[in-house]
Structure 1
Amino acid sequence: MNPSEPVRMIQVGAGAMGLAWLRTIAESPDAEVVGLVDLDIDVARRSAETAGLPDLPTATSLAALADTVAADAVVNVTIPEAHHPVNLEAMSAGFPVLCEKPIAPTVAGALSMVAASEATGRLLMISQSRRYFAGFAELRRLVESLGVVGTVTCEFFKAPHFGGFRERMAHPLLVDMAIHHFDAARHLVGQEPVAVYCQAYNPPWSWYDGDAAATAVFEFSGGAQFVYTGSWCSPGYETSWNGRWRISAQTGSALWDGDGSPTVDMPGRTGTAGEARRAPAVPEQISGALAEFVHALRTGTTPSGEAHGNVLSLAMVESAVQSALTGTRTVIEDVLADAHAQATDAEQHDAVRAVLKSWRDVRETVGLPAR
């Protein structure tokens, strides 16, 4: 794509998160929204007006807009259950797609999305917005300087009263929130998850129907252990939405409170203790995801949120839930194998099913090292 011109985007989904994306795209010098799709046309029109785009073309289907506006890509901000049909329609029509997390409600659905990307030859990138914080980027650089990582811990304690579907979910913390922290752990350590033991529970004062608290211990491919403890019904001394992190490694340790600058302590090395130098200002959260997507389209590079590489973040969630339900250690390659079989059996699109059947080993497809 011409780097001197903004990437023209059709956005699908105009709810609360959709409005945030509209504003983000409108503020970007490298992208512009040229159409907005929502099943409720009145919602689409109201969101466009609220975002300061009253003349933005709107429709109730992607096909209706794709034929009338000149677009380069699609941004999918629909509910997770709609990700599969919207992404497949967009990629089949020739559009690369930037999709909100999670890639799908299940690992089986995620594998179908990966296969659809291969079948159509179009980029599918998932927006894991919490990767895009300057403090987190600096923490990654610090961890790279500490040698072999032994233990990573993340504490997450909040007390939000959402109302609605989250308070009715069976595993609200693990399914709706923890993927951010699980994905961050993968990105931080540079290793992949191989197994997990998880306990989920619901404190007696909880206003959630399902288990709003959990502790999970993940084993990673390079030997690191990731210990996650969180609660969505924990009033007082609340952490950042990014969680509170500690990394213990070969030559020292790093801390990050999730908001400010990380700190590092490397005993015996002069000038390595204290607050880290803040990284240069960069686009953060969904602005960062948008910037990386645009860069990938312009340069042909593979973005960090590309669909193949994103499956294991969702697999961590599904494996943790399975472990909590069974009370046993769950091996992630087993979850992937079961999901691959389910995806192949359920896929209704011949070209996508053919790709799923062609994979020699689903572990290789998503980048999980062999045991």
Structure 2
Amino acid sequence: MAMKHRIVVAGCGGMSNAWLDYAAQRENAEIVGLVDIYEEAAKAMAAKRGLDVPVFTSLGEALAVTEANLVFDVTIPASHKEIVTTALRAGCDVFGEKPMAESYEDALEIVELSQATGKRYAIMQNRRYLKQIRALREMLRSGSIGQVGSLHADFFIGAHFGGFRDAMESPLIVDMAIHTFDQARFISGADPVSVYCHEYNPPGSWYKGNASAVCIFEMSDGSVFTYRGSWCAEGLNTSWEADWRITGSEGSVRWDGQSMPYGERANPDKPDGFIREQLRIESENTWHGAEGHPGCLDEMFAALEEGRPAETDSLDNIKSVNMVFGAVRSAKLGQKVRL
């Protein structure tokens, strides 16, 4: 029989909706408490969802009263370290929103605590759980374009959030680029070695901090990953999954973040010519699991029940977090930094 998950949800803003919807569908999961620093927010969420559960302003109190064994951390980034460490020390596993923490040092501390307590901390990287990105990864793994030499991602969206993001020092890199950086690791199977980042805030930006950036990462397999992004780009927006071009020793692949990826490779039967004849490569859908948030949550729960780290466990996600804060450090120093 699968274990019973008694869940306390920390943070009752809009981001918790997808998590609560998912938990309500699982027979072996039960929401037993809601926590928010604003008690009225927790009460409002309970009323909205029809949840007859106690509400709290303190996670520690909630865990003591409810005897929960799992925490959903959907608070703002500034609260992640406190929420996660409180939960781990109380003997709970944690599923949390990205990024892991507000600094690389805090993220490392959380990883160390997870290892010391034997409790798991898995992070929501929902953009790994799409049939298109799974197909893209399989195209590269199959050697369809030879050895990968470079990956390029463009992310341009004019996002008018309001709230905490508008006041962040590095809103694009710290709050959003983690998705694209993690995608690059997932697609390539390589980890970052160094980064050079130029971060800036262009004319017309409604963010206080730098909402645009260009990054160049050297990866562990010798490839290069480049990122061009903006969260204040009005018009001609890319998808939230970014717009990708990947080049290999024998061809290239494109993915617009929405359609199925496709590629071209040089025709081996016609090796001559200034510009060689190309053969189109189609991708194949091999992913039949849930997509987006449910797909990532499926993996998180399966990992707990099978006694293994999830694909997005903090032990792995710390490498994506390193890309984020390495980029911020590079931008501040104005030079390439080792990771």
Per the TM superposition, whether the score is higher than 0.5 is yes
CA contact (8 A) 1:7 1:294 kept: no
CA contact (8 A) 1:130 1:184 kept: yes
Residue of structure 2 in register with 1:112 after alignment: 109
Say whether residues 1:42 and 2:49 are aligned partners.
no
Residue of structure 1 in register with 2:238 after alignment: 239
Say whether residues 1:328 and 2:326 are aligned partners.
no
Partner Cα separation in structure 1 for residue 225 and residue 9 of structure 2: 36
Among 123, 126, 130, which residue is 2:120 paired with? 123
Partner Cα separation in structure 1 for residue 321 and residue 170 of structure 2: 14
CA deviation after TM superposition for structure 1 residue 120, in Å = 0.9
CA deviation after TM superposition for structure 1 residue 109, in Å = 0.1
Deviates more, 1:15-24 or 1:232-241: 15-24
1:266 partner SS: strand
Residue of structure 2 in register with 1:363 after alignment: none
1:21 partner SS: helix
The CA deviation string for residues 98-153 of structure 1, in whole angstroms up to 9 with x for no partner, is 11111110000001101111221111111112111121111111111124210000
CA contact (8 A) 1:31 1:294 kept: no
CA contact (8 A) 1:135 1:279 kept: no
Residue of structure 1 in register with 2:255 after alignment: 256
Query: One-letter code of the match for 1:35?
Result: G
CA deviation after TM superposition for structure 1 residue 14, in Å = 0.9
Residue of structure 1 in register with 2:164 after alignment: 165
Q: Alpha carbon RMSD of aligned pairs, Å? A: 2.1
Partner Cα separation in structure 1 for residue 62 and residue 196 of structure 2: 46
Partner Cα separation in structure 1 for residue 325 and residue 103 of structure 2: 7
The 3 A distance-change label for structure 1 pair 152 and 289 is same
Query: One-letter code of the match for 1:118?
Result: Q
Unaligned runs of 5+ in 1: 333-371
Residue of structure 1 in register with 2:197 after alignment: 198
Among 129, 137, 141, which residue is 2:138 paired with? 141
Deviates more, 1:101-110 or 1:5-14: 5-14
Partner Cα separation in structure 2 for residue 284 and residue 182 of structure 1: 19
CA deviation after TM superposition for structure 1 residue 193, in Å = 0.5
Deviates more, 1:279-288 or 1:172-181: 279-288
CA contact (8 A) 1:19 1:47 kept: no
Unaligned runs of 5+ in 2: 270-277
CA deviation after TM superposition for structure 1 residue 274, in Å = 4.4
Partner Cα separation in structure 2 for residue 261 and residue 97 of structure 1: 33
Query: One-letter code of the match for 1:292?
Result: E
2:15 partner SS: helix
Partner Cα separation in structure 2 for residue 279 and residue 112 of structure 1: 37
1:16 partner SS: coil
Partner Cα separation in structure 2 for residue 110 and residue 154 of structure 1: 25
Identical-pair percentage: 40
Query: One-letter code of the match for 1:81?
Result: A
Query: One-letter code of the match for 1:282?
Result: G
Query: One-letter code of the match for 2:111?
Result: V
Query: One-letter code of the match for 2:254?
Result: L
Alignment of 1:284-295 (within 5 A): 284-295=291-302
1:153 partner SS: strand
The 3 A distance-change label for structure 1 pair 63 and 321 is closer
Query: One-letter code of the match for 1:237?
Result: L
The CA deviation string for residues 154-177 of structure 1, in whole angstroms up to 9 with x for no partner, is 001111122233223232211221
The CA deviation string for residues 303-351 of structure 1, in whole angstroms up to 9 with x for no partner, is 111112111211111111222222211111xxxxxxxxxxxxxxxxxxx
Partner Cα separation in structure 2 for residue 21 and residue 272 of structure 1: 43
The CA deviation string for residues 210-240 of structure 1, in whole angstroms up to 9 with x for no partner, is 2221111100011010011111122221100
Partner Cα separation in structure 2 for residue 302 and residue 54 of structure 1: 30
Query: One-letter code of the match for 2:101?
Result: A
Q: What count of residue pairs does the alignment treat as equivalent?
A: 329
Residue of structure 2 in register with 1:341 after alignment: none
Alignment of 1:329-348 (within 5 A): 329-332=336-339
The CA deviation string for residues 188-226 of structure 1, in whole angstroms up to 9 with x for no partner, is 111110111111222222222322211111000110100
Partner Cα separation in structure 1 for residue 211 and residue 109 of structure 2: 29
CA deviation after TM superposition for structure 1 residue 24, in Å = 2.5
CA contact (8 A) 2:303 2:310 kept: yes
Deviates more, 1:83-92 or 1:24-33: 24-33
Alignment of 1:1-371 (within 5 A): 2-3=1-2, 7-29=5-27, 31-51=29-49, 53-146=50-143, 147-268=146-267, 273-332=280-339
The 3 A distance-change label for structure 1 pair 61 and 205 is closer
Partner Cα separation in structure 2 for residue 204 and residue 279 of structure 1: 43
Partner Cα separation in structure 1 for residue 204 and residue 299 of structure 2: 42
The CA deviation string for residues 230-263 of structure 1, in whole angstroms up to 9 with x for no partner, is 1112222110011001111233322111112111
The CA deviation string for residues 33-57 of structure 1, in whole angstroms up to 9 with x for no partner, is 2222222222112112222x33133
The 3 A distance-change label for structure 1 pair 300 and 251 is farther
